[in-house]
Chain A
Amino acid sequence: MLNYIIRRLLLMIPTIIGITLLVFLVMAMSPGGLTAGIRGQEGNMRPDQRKKIEEYYKKRYGLDQPLYRQYLRWLNHVLPFGAKEAGEGFPRKWPVGLKSPDLGESLMRHRPVIDVVAEALPVTILLNLITVPVIYAISITAGIYAARRRGNSFDVAWGTTSLALWSIPTMWAGVMFLGLFANRDVINIFPASGLHDTLAEQMRFLPSWPGGVFARGWLLDFAWHLTLPIICLTYGGFAFMSKLMRASVLENLSADFARTARAKGLTDRAVLFRHVLSNSVLPLITVAAGILPGLLGGSLIVESIFSINGMGRLMIDAIFQKDRELVMSEAFVIGIVSLVSLLVADLCYAAADPRVTYE
């Protein structure tokens, strides 16, 4: 197993390099040059001042060099080892050595990209880490329920509803939720934006009743802010997964081992929960690899609608500002996140099904 993991991790390296190269080439095609975004900030400068500042930026971000050197420069930034650049302190006077990897500096924000990403990445990962268990819990329950009462009204209704839910565009759901449940003119029960109240820092962690007045506390405030985004992120997933769950439970219920278990005298419940269930969950784990990129994409839309400062929102900002360093680092980080989660999904599959070995 360790062998397999190491091999997969090594195979990721060319993929990641490919991703960054692809993104770099696409961004390099951008007309108006990469300084176009920077130029926008200059305002009313004299031509000579403008020229100077442009040259300064070009030099600072290495934009005056040929393309392949720009790319190698970026790669050099990212790797934990590489050639020394101005401003980097290596232990001794070596031209090449170990260094702390960084993601360059954002062209528009003039901040290290790694800081910007470090603020945004946990938010996106948190959103997805909450979403996945919710999807699985609902889809497994509903799938079992529908399969046990195959053909009855719940089954039929759920089948149609889930296909409909699956087709609802996330942005529409988001816009409608925002407009109906977080709107002062209609129903104002949910917050419209962000993950925390502005005063969240002063709250206690758990709900409390200081002086008989209910104060919701940090945790409840957080959950309250998360409700609508999480609904938007989950409904598509569980619609799809519960269909899959239903089909696989039905298949396993009519399998030989289930018949044997029933012939042995086990009750229907025991057959279902001891024998059929564990086998039926397998396809759900297989498709986990497939829905993860979709989830990351979905969280981009949700973040943009609910003004949550995650990777998706950062990406949209970076695209609007043509901030190459930020876009490349975003693609790099998102690529790593999705590749790692694919690997985790494969490992979960092996863990759940003893028949699967990756040797």
Chain B
Amino acid sequence: MSNFAATPADAGTDVQFPTSNVDVPLPWLAQVWKQSISQRAARFGLAWISVVAFCAIFAPLLANSFPIAIKMNGRWSSPFLHQLTATDVTLPILTLLCGILCFVRRIGFLSKIYTMLIATVIVGSLAFIFIRPPNTPRETYRLLERAGRLQSVVRTPIPYTFDDRLYDQFSADHPHPWAPSHDHWMGTEKFGADITSQMIYACRIAMAIGFISTGISVLIGIVFGGLMGYFVGIVDLLGMRVIEIVGAIPTIYLLLIFVAAFPDYRSIYLIMAIIGLTSWTGDARFVRAEFLKLRNQEFVHAAIAAGLPLRSVLFKHLLPNALAPLLVSASFGIAGAILSESTLSFLGLGIPVGDASWGALLNEAVSAGGGFIWWLATYPGLAIFLTVLSYNFIGEAVRDALDPKLRERS
């Protein structure tokens, strides 16, 4: 492992994959990717995450109370377009951009990432400033259709938005939650929202929580662990104490304490930040260990001797060589972040009431007062389980690909 991580150029000789017609070895990350993806479990994981990502990006096209197209008074219109929120618009645009960037060969990997980040900020802020959907009652078009005012309607596969509480279908003798039926494939929750729709919209929170909070924790881990590993001595000693302090309290307790410090209305971004702030210790340990190993290598000495600034030595020369264990810890970290969010929501301390989250749905399965509501327990739980399992599968595969010794053994 030590030699392996230190000299990535040599690693190519260890790693073998079936279809190598080319003599030039692939870039190292590409090798790892190919190696991990060749495993069935990792492929399953990637497939499930693609499904979740698809649901997250195209949620309004999959489940929406507003029809895609209607014909009223002889004219076609699209109520769906007027009701798109900023998130609904931002996500597909960014996905499209990401897709285009993947096929552009000229730009380097890092610049692609920078482009994506800048685009995210610009598109996101523009969308949030300019797009303000009117607060039309969700049942409007159902009522119009029932009244026979619409000549034809094109609906999404699931004709309910996640916050559509079916006020028009309320009946006192048949209170919510309803069991799964032909109209509501996964039933409804206690306020009357359709669970299928909630599950689809919750994919957004799962994806966002996973990536953003892991991003935060990895970033903190890199800076913290990198400085510790590079400067050793007193910085390392103090840093290790801080890691010990944060690491000594079980993560869930730490999360609860941080959550308690904020008002009762907690936005999803706050939860992301909190999860990121409480889970960086593992990443910092990994980066520190790698930097400690690498700092006496010749290429680092050469970089220092060449008079490169500290920033360059740390992030351009040391970091790329220390990325390997970070990759593994990040993919397990995503699984952990999703679990943390659902746990917090399950305990009633997570995202605000009304937002869709798998954990919050699971919470309702037992807390609604009507005993055990199986459809509220089964589907969200299964979704959390599959997502966490997928990221764990991918993490395992990447780790096996990175560590040839481990691969031979099992």
Question: Which residues does A use to contact B, with CB under 8 Å?
Answer: 14-15, 18-19, 22-23, 26-27, 29-32, 160, 163-164, 166-169, 171-172, 175-176, 178-180, 183-186, 246-247, 250-251, 293-294, 296-297, 300-301, 304-305, 315-316, 318-320, 322, 327, 330-331, 334-335, 338-339, 342
Give a binary string over B230-254; 1 marks a CB under 8 Å from any A CB, 0 the rest.
Answer: 0000000000011011111111110
Q: Chain A binding site: helix, strand, loop or mixed by DSSP?
A: helix
Asked whether A175 lies within 8 Å of B253 as measured between CB atoms, the reply is no
Asked whether A19 lies within 8 Å of B343 as measured between CB atoms, the reply is no
Q: Given A27-B261, A30-B260, A169-B385, is A183 in contact with B251 using a C-beta cutoff of 8 Å?
A: no
Selected A-B contacts with CB under 8 Å, 20 pairs: A27-B261, A29-B262, A32-B263, A164-B389, A169-B385, A172-B385, A175-B362, A175-B365, A175-B372, A179-B372, A183-B372, A246-B410, A247-B406, A247-B409, A250-B409, A300-B256, A315-B253, A331-B253, A334-B250, A335-B248
Q: Given A169-B388, A179-B366, is A296 in contact with B253 using a C-beta cutoff of 8 Å?
A: yes
CB distance from A355 to the nearest CB of B (A): 20
Specify which chain A residues have a CB less than 8 angstroms from the CB of B250 in the assembled complex.
Answer: 293-294, 296-297, 300, 334, 338
B392 at the binding interface (Cβ < 8 Å): yes
CB distance from A240 to the nearest CB of B (A): 10
CB distance from B364 to the nearest CB of A (A): 10
Asked whether B381 lies within 8 Å of A319 as measured between CB atoms, the reply is no
Asked whether A29 lies within 8 Å of B261 as measured between CB atoms, the reply is yes
A338 and B248 CA atoms in complex are apart in Å by: 6
Asked whether A334 lies within 8 Å of B409 as measured between CB atoms, the reply is no
CB distance from B170 to the nearest CB of A (A): 25
Asked whether A293 lies within 8 Å of B377 as measured between CB atoms, the reply is no
Which of A175, A319, A342 lies in contact with B256, CB distance below 8 A?
A319
Q: Closest A residue to B255 by CB, please name it.
A: A297
Which of B241, B253, B348, B381 lies in contact with A172, CB distance below 8 A?
B381
A163 and B258 CA atoms in complex are apart in Å by: 30
Which of A27, A160, A183 lies in contact with B371, CB distance below 8 A?
A183
Closest 5 pairs (CB-CB, A-B): A179-B372, A172-B381, A18-B245, A297-B252, A167-B389
Asked whether A251 lies within 8 Å of B409 as measured between CB atoms, the reply is yes
Specify which chain A residues have a CB less than 8 angstroms from the CB of B310 in the assembled complex.
Answer: none
Asked whether B377 lies within 8 Å of A175 as measured between CB atoms, the reply is yes
A296 and B253 CA atoms in complex are apart in Å by: 9
Q: Given A167-B388, A247-B410, is A319 in contact with B372 using a C-beta cutoff of 8 Å?
A: no
A320 and B260 CA atoms in complex are apart in Å by: 7
CB distance from B239 to the nearest CB of A (A): 12
A166 and B382 CA atoms in complex are apart in Å by: 14
Asked whether A30 lies within 8 Å of B342 as measured between CB atoms, the reply is no
A297 and B344 CA atoms in complex are apart in Å by: 12
A176 and B376 CA atoms in complex are apart in Å by: 10
Q: Closest B residue to A175 by CB, please name it.
A: B377
Asked whether A26 lies within 8 Å of B248 as measured between CB atoms, the reply is no
B346 at the binding interface (Cβ < 8 Å): yes
Asked whether A250 lies within 8 Å of B371 as measured between CB atoms, the reply is no
Q: Closest A residue to B383 by CB, please name it.
A: A172
Interface size bracket, B side: 35 or more
Asked whether B377 lies within 8 Å of A338 as measured between CB atoms, the reply is no
Q: Closest A residue to B374 by CB, please name it.
A: A179
Specify which chain B residues have a CB less than 8 angstroms from the CB of A185 in the assembled complex.
Answer: 371-372
B347 at the binding interface (Cβ < 8 Å): yes
CB distance from B271 to the nearest CB of A (A): 14
Asked whether A297 lies within 8 Å of B260 as measured between CB atoms, the reply is no
Give a binary string over B389-400; 1 marks a CB under 8 Å from any A CB, 0 the rest.
Answer: 100110010000
Specify which chain A residues have a CB less than 8 angstroms from the CB of B218 in the assembled complex.
Answer: none
A22 and B377 CA atoms in complex are apart in Å by: 36
Residue of A23, A32, A166, A172 contacting most chain B CB atoms (<10 Å): A172
Asked whether B241 lies within 8 Å of A18 as measured between CB atoms, the reply is yes
Q: Closest A residue to B359 by CB, please name it.
A: A171
CB distance from A27 to the nearest CB of B (A): 6
CB distance from B158 to the nearest CB of A (A): 23
Asked whether B365 lies within 8 Å of A163 as measured between CB atoms, the reply is no
B349 at the binding interface (Cβ < 8 Å): yes
Asked whether A167 lies within 8 Å of B253 as measured between CB atoms, the reply is no
Specify which chain A residues have a CB less than 8 angstroms from the CB of B378 in the assembled complex.
Answer: 176
CB distance from A252 to the nearest CB of B (A): 11
Asked whether A172 lies within 8 Å of B377 as measured between CB atoms, the reply is yes
B259 at the binding interface (Cβ < 8 Å): yes
Which of A176, A179, A319 lies in contact with B259, CB distance below 8 A?
A319
Specify which chain B residues have a CB less than 8 angstroms from the CB of A297 in the assembled complex.
Answer: 250-253
Q: Closest A residue to B373 by CB, please name it.
A: A179
Asked whether B392 lies within 8 Å of A15 as measured between CB atoms, the reply is no
Specify which chain B residues have a CB less than 8 angstroms from the CB of A23 in the assembled complex.
Answer: 249, 257
Specify which chain B residues have a CB less than 8 angstroms from the CB of A30 in the assembled complex.
Answer: 260-262
A263 and B284 CA atoms in complex are apart in Å by: 46
B318 at the binding interface (Cβ < 8 Å): no
CB distance from B98 to the nearest CB of A (A): 27
B384 at the binding interface (Cβ < 8 Å): yes
Q: Given A171-B342, A183-B372, A331-B257, is A338 in contact with B381 using a C-beta cutoff of 8 Å?
A: no
A340 and B346 CA atoms in complex are apart in Å by: 30
Asked whether A26 lies within 8 Å of B257 as measured between CB atoms, the reply is yes
CB distance from B274 to the nearest CB of A (A): 10
A338 and B343 CA atoms in complex are apart in Å by: 21
Q: Closest B residue to A338 by CB, please name it.
A: B248
A250 and B257 CA atoms in complex are apart in Å by: 42
Q: Closest B residue to A296 by CB, please name it.
A: B250
Specify which chain B residues have a CB less than 8 angstroms from the CB of A166 in the assembled complex.
Answer: 392
| 18 additional A-B residue pairs with CB within 8 Å, beyond A27-B260, A167-B389 | A15-B244, A19-B245, A26-B260, A27-B257, A30-B262, A31-B262, A167-B388, A178-B372, A179-B365, A183-B372, A250-B410, A297-B252, A300-B250, A301-B346, A316-B256, A327-B260, A335-B248, A338-B250
Asked whether A26 lies within 8 Å of B362 as measured between CB atoms, the reply is no
A334 and B362 CA atoms in complex are apart in Å by: 27
A183 and B366 CA atoms in complex are apart in Å by: 11
A342 and B243 CA atoms in complex are apart in Å by: 14
